[in-house]
Structure 1
């Protein structure tokens, strides 16, 4: 049976008139009540009939945000950056995840059809880029926060993944670490390929190319980093440094090194990527390439707000927010043993 406005009103504990006012953006409503109604609309996947949607004639002053999941370690920072800008501009934010696959996307598509928001910020759920591009072509203002090396035909915010990899290599080389291993993220993602290419290029330029045997794939998780480091420790090639493609896998690598009775950074220096909050609290604290996650959310929201409120054109080119190397105890320049090793 199709979801009706009565279903929405019953679930939200309000009248049908209140639901209609939320849909049309008319009349004074308590902010908490309006937010509850919109949440129920999203949960039920309610799509009002065209004749009932006053939103089509005006503005909702709501921004949509589509993300793969809220459990990714850096999503919270991106979300907070987006919220800070959106709320400062007097807008609300509707967040959609894709944790239930096609069912999630059907609910999201229903909210698009209902014109529940004026513009969209996206961290692309895998396999949805063509659909998001079609929304842009149909007139929905969209800004993509991109970590997958995609070059969409609409505005995006990206960071310098390749330069971040180069900076990690330069730092390790400055410590005299010339036998580097790499724990990659999933190489189907552009961010992983860029980080590996930058690191590998800088090491090769210095005369210390990375052995293919010292490149281990992982999946951006603590467990994946631990397993990858265990495999490296059982290889027949020694190493004195490790570059992990995110902080969770770097933390897993630290655990494996500790279990192998190897000292960090004296025996093996470790550098991660992202600078999530836990990076400062590992043992030892993790050196990492800071990805400006909150800044990326802020930049994406500002691009969208400038278009919606200021009429500025959204340019089909990426807005770049640079990475930054953060040096902590896992690669401290003053800690070095006379005989580094790693296998």
Structure 2
């Protein structure tokens, strides 16, 4: 049978409360009594429940993380960044997804009510922002890892420079003489889509090449939307010499449509994505893309939360980690030419 705190108390001839105080370093105790309890703990090989000790200290040493789904191709990088920090500081991670919609959120809510974690990292599942804001307002420390740029200001957040990154993509294409791009956009409801479109269009307009509406293709961040959108543009006779896709998956689909049409990349069509997921370096040709600092965002969010546990107030302004631009062969660059 497992050794319990009651066994330790009985052997040491003290109360369970006294054993608990020794374990947690709380309360005034006679040193000889504390030494006797520690000796009994060693003799019996008693290992306290980490959860029980955490609760006694008012801390679980567990961080919750809420994400839409693990199938999103960049989620893993953000998650790894957070885990690297948490494990180093001996915190656990309790991961929640919204794969089953309302049922998933009910289970998540039950864990919130049970105070199963000390704070929460969030990659916002659609439709949950008001609920997350309410949790934060009620005292749960929350840090939003945000790729959409529409979070309420009262929630601390870590994000990147979507507008600037898209502008870098535009200037790169202009520098190699491409003035007739197609844009495969993301979902209109996402703030990152608006920022990427605005940043890209602004750079082209400033260079004297405004982007007509018919050159912006609706998309949903999937391979299929990139393929079908570019294929449709080819079939309807739209003249283009470049494609800027709002993520690497839709860029991969666009690449296939271009190659299937007999055009060459980058000689006939230069192609740029956004995110720099691991796939981007292994397409044929390798994909030029805007590098989102995904792992760094996860690390920064986790550090922010842990610092708060030690008394540092959560920041009231977004923390922004700049995106960078990685030029590869899909725009004619040498491999792995990375620029700010």
Secondary structure of the 2:164 match is: helix
Task: Spell out the pairing of 1:160-239 with structure 2 (5 A cutoff).
Answer: 160-239=161-240
| Distance (Å, rounded) in 1 between the aligned partners of 2:56 and 2:75 | 31
Secondary structure of the 2:262 match is: coil
Task: Spell out the pairing of 1:289-300 with structure 2 (5 A cutoff).
Answer: 289-300=290-301
Equivalence for 2:9 = none
Aligned residues: 295
| Distance (Å, rounded) in 2 between the aligned partners of 1:94 and 1:247 | 29
| Distance (Å, rounded) in 2 between the aligned partners of 1:166 and 1:258 | 26
Contact 1:55–1:116, Cα closer than 8 Å, also in 2: no
Secondary structure of the 2:279 match is: helix
Runs of 4+ in 1 over 4 A off after TM superposition: 24-27
Does structure 1 residue 67 correspond to structure 2 residue 86?
no
Secondary structure of the 1:301 match is: helix
Equivalence for 1:274 = 275
Q: 1:56 to 1:65 in 2, by over 3 A?
A: farther
Give the structure-2-normalised TM-score: 0.82
Q: 1:333 to 1:78 in 2, by over 3 A?
A: closer
| Distance (Å, rounded) in 2 between the aligned partners of 1:171 and 1:204 | 14
Secondary structure of the 1:176 match is: coil
Equivalence for 1:285 = 286
Shift of 1:151: 3.3
Secondary structure of the 2:252 match is: helix
Contact 1:182–1:216, Cα closer than 8 Å, also in 2: yes
| Distance (Å, rounded) in 2 between the aligned partners of 1:330 and 1:29 | 57
Secondary structure of the 1:164 match is: helix
Contact 1:292–1:323, Cα closer than 8 Å, also in 2: yes
Gap regions ≥5 residues in structure 2: 6-19, 25-45, 335-340
Does structure 1 residue 91 correspond to structure 2 residue 110?
no
| Distance (Å, rounded) in 1 between the aligned partners of 2:49 and 2:110 | 24
Give the structure-1-normalised TM-score: 0.82
CA RMSD of aligned residues (A): 2.3
Shift of 1:198: 0.3
Q: 1:110 to 1:53 in 2, by over 3 A?
A: farther
Equivalence for 1:77 = 77
Shift of 1:316: 1.8
Deviations 1:41-99 (A, max 9, x none): xxxxxxxxxxx998386110000000000110000000000000011111000000010
| Distance (Å, rounded) in 1 between the aligned partners of 2:235 and 2:271 | 18
Shift of 1:333: 4.8
